[in-house]
Amino acid sequence: MRILILSFYYPPDLSAGSFRARSISEALASKMNPNDTLDIISTRPNRYASYTETAPETEWHGSINIKRIFVPAHKSGMVDQSLAFLKYAKEAWKSTRGKNYDLVLATSSRLMTAFLGTKIAKRQNCPLYLDIRDIFTDTLKDVLAGSPLKLLLPGFRRLERYTIRSAQCINLVSEGFGEYFKKISPDAHYTFFPNGIDEEFIKYDYNKNTVGTKKLILYAGNIGEGQGLHKIIPSAATRLYEKYEFLIIGDGGMRGELEKQIRRSNAQNVTILDPVARKRLLKYYKDSDYLLLHLNNYAAFKKVLPSKIFEYAATGKPILAGVSGYSRDFLVNNVDKVAVFDPCDVDGFVNAVSGISSTMASRQKFIDQYRRNSINTKMVENIIRCASWN
């Protein structure tokens, strides 16, 4: 059996997609026979302009063959990301020519990686397994509202329908996506395997050793339009100045806007650091009192289930969550010690902070249920079954 995995990001790059792709590939490799092969085509690390990490162009680990394509640097803009993807797609198409696969698996938050997987699977005449982490056109509709680029949406929707209807198996990381995709392709085989918690987050001791005069609220992750941090942190920080400090670790297309709004509001209690490797991030989690999760006030985000929920929950730290829809319901029903508020609602954020203590929570039941290893074991069984449908 020979399987191809397409993922635009792969470790050591920092993103939910890269860690998911690695966990799936390692779980798959553990179930494959000695003569089976798992090809992974990704890119050299490029997620953040402020985080650089070297990685070889090719790697071999038992049955896993990794190929990383060099793509142009980008700053998370639509044009520069498009150019980077075009380079990736061109090289991936070329490198798979003449090879025979039993299954193509594309893990995608951006539609085009899934579309690339569709074209390769059709050329191979083999089943297509899509692991969908976001509804690209749904998000794009909100982001491009009022922009001339919204004229591109009908074209992307046609690509989306073509891609989804081409897949035999579709995994959705959020059950909130189910209704949307089943309307497009009701006959596909659907599963709902979320991101889950990696072992390195479970084994760490997050008990804080020192007590400061102010409580520390930490946000770690992407700083983009989708997170909307620029709409809430500057104003909230000024109102919480006497008792709280903010630490933001990350980068993205809206970091400059966030920094501008912080200067404009004269917030003196906000620090922004560049992205850090996971091992260093654990120490920042340990030193924090609260963890902040926030999504912009877009209708598309009512369906999502952010991977950061699982990472944050593993720490036992209180979570401040500005989310709505499925994410909000999931947190309220599954995770202890969470204070939820409406996205971009500064008053709601301030009240949430004031209404929850900084003591840690025991979330062992949640951790046991959502260990990434356990989730991937079930997911891999499904992937192998899909490969046999050829």
Looking at residue 390, its pLDDT comes to 67
Q: Is 58 helix (H, G, I), strand (E, B) or coil?
A: strand
Looking at residue 113, its pLDDT comes to 95
CATH 3.40.50.2000 spans which residues of the chain?
A: 2-196+371-387, 199-369
Looking at residue 72, its pLDDT comes to 83
For residue range 31-63, list pLDDT tens digits in order.
988 899 999 999 998 776 666 677 889 999 888
Looking at residue 272, its pLDDT comes to 98
383-386, long-range: CB < 8 A, 24+ apart: 383/3, 383/24, 383/28, 383/103, 383/105, 383/129, 383/169, 384/1, 384/28, 384/31, 386/103, 386/127, 386/129, 386/168, 386/169, 386/189
For residue range 265-322, list pLDDT tens digits in order.
999 999 999 999 889 999 999 999 999 999 999 999 999 999 999 999 999 999 999 9
Looking at residue 34, its pLDDT comes to 85
For residue range 59-87, list pLDDT tens digits in order.
998 889 999 999 987 666 677 788 889 99
Which of 377, 374, 335 has its CA nearest to residue 356?
Answer: 335
Looking at residue 206, its pLDDT comes to 96
More confident residue, 80 or 195: 195
| Band of pLDDT at residue 383, cut at 50, 70 and 90 | very high
Tokens of 26: 């390692």
| Band of pLDDT at residue 248, cut at 50, 70 and 90 | very high
| Band of pLDDT at residue 235, cut at 50, 70 and 90 | very high
DSSP state of 250: -
Angstrom distance (rounded) from CA 165 to CA 159: 10
Average pLDDT, the chain: 93
**Mean pLDDT calculated for residue range 224-241:** 96
DSSP state of 44: S
Angstrom distance (rounded) from CA 38 to CA 41: 10
Angstrom distance (rounded) from CA 33 to CA 86: 34
Sign (positive/negative) of CA torsion 48, 53, 56, 62?
negative
76-to-34, 48, 89, 194, 305 alpha-carbon distances in Å: 40, 8, 18, 25, 21
Superfamily of domain 2-196+371-387: Glycogen Phosphorylase B; (3.40.50.2000)
Looking at residue 388, its pLDDT comes to 85
Written as one letter, the residue type at 232 is I
Looking at residue 49, its pLDDT comes to 63
Contact in structure between 315 and 206 (CB atoms under 8 Å): yes
Angstrom distance (rounded) from CA 173 to CA 146: 29
For residue range 87-101, list pLDDT tens digits in order.
999 999 999 999 999
What percent of the chain lies above the pLDDT cut of 70?
A: 97
Angstrom distance (rounded) from CA 5 to CA 28: 10
Which of 223, 202, 247, 130 has its CA nearest to residue 370?
Answer: 202
Sheet holding 319-322, edge to edge: 270-273, 244-249, 215-220, 290-294, 319-322, 338-341
Angstrom distance (rounded) from CA 361 to CA 346: 25
* The CATH fold of domain 199-369: Rossmann fold (3.40.50)
Tokens of 293: 């999760």
Tokens of 184: 């497009």
DSSP state of 238: H
